Amino acid sequence: MKERKRGREQLQQRNLEDRQSNSRTLPETPHMDSLARNRSTKAENSKMEESGGQTSEEPATKFQADEIHPLLGKPYFHVVLVKSHLNQMVLPTKMHPSVPSAVIPAVLVHQDKRWEMTFNGDHRTHKRFDIGWRTFVNDNNLKAGDACVFELMECNTSNIKFRVQILRGDIPSMLLDRANGETSDTAIVIE
């Protein structure tokens, strides 16, 4: 009986330490969802491993993490990419009042790099980026399942500029081995 109680107390202590270490690692902000916080924490753990620092007991996962920044309170939208988004990006209707109804130069900024393209805002229902969007997709190795957050940084009648943050949607191979996620019968369940 005492062993069971001691084990339960140790588990509660570990959970408390995990929550405290996560709150020190990345502050809560109203604009960052749990995926962004989790991705940033993993990125910091990966950097610590590469520098020889102490990390958790979990095995190291090597990946190139994108830096996540809090939103600045400007108009934004987010998209979890599906196959059709890899060829064309149409802005959601909620963004239409914030962007001009004209064909103007557009710039997407991600990690201090710029992609220039044309914003086609003259259509009443389909305001979108031109073929330059595909260059952005290819240069950033975007694929279905990744998420992008577009924050409107500059907007006037002669140009438009978005800061883009990318959240990778990679599913760990240990989960893919258990299910393929194509139907509800073979869903990927994260416990």
Rounded to an integer, what distance in angstroms lies between the CA atom of residue 105 and that of residue 129? Answer: 10
Q: Is residue 186 part of a domain?
A: no
The pLDDT value recorded for residue 68 is 82
Res. 115: pLDDT tops 90: yes
- Number of H helices and E strands in the chain, helices first, is 4, 6
Assign residue 151 the CATH number of its domain: 2.40.330.10
Res. 184: pLDDT tops 90: no
Q: How many domains does the chain have?
A: 2
Both 19 and 89 in a single domain? no
Banded pLDDT at 125 (limits 50, 70, 90):
confident
Greatest extent of the chain over all pairs of C-alpha atoms, in Å: 73
Both 97 and 148 in a single domain? yes
Rg, C-alpha atoms of the chain: 21
Single residue among 65, 85, 100 that ends a domain in this structure: 65
**pLDDT tens-digit profile of 38-92?**
444 444 444 444 444 443 333 333 334 567 888 999 999 999 999 999 999 999 9
Both 8 and 50 in a single domain? yes
Residue linked to tokens 């002669």: 158
Res. 105: pLDDT tops 90: yes
Single residue among 13, 36, 65 that ends a domain in this structure: 65
Q: Is residue 137 part of a domain?
A: yes
Q: What is the pTM of this model?
A: 0.58
Residue 94 lies in domain: 76-167
* Residue 160 φ/ψ, nearest 5 degrees: -145, 140
Q: What is the DSSP letter of 82?
A: -
76 versus 189: the higher-pLDDT residue is 76
Banded pLDDT at 172 (limits 50, 70, 90):
low
The pLDDT value recorded for residue 127 is 95
Name which of 18-22, 28-32, 49-53, 67-71 the model is least confident about: 28-32
Residue linked to tokens 């330059």: 132
Both 58 and 96 in a single domain? no
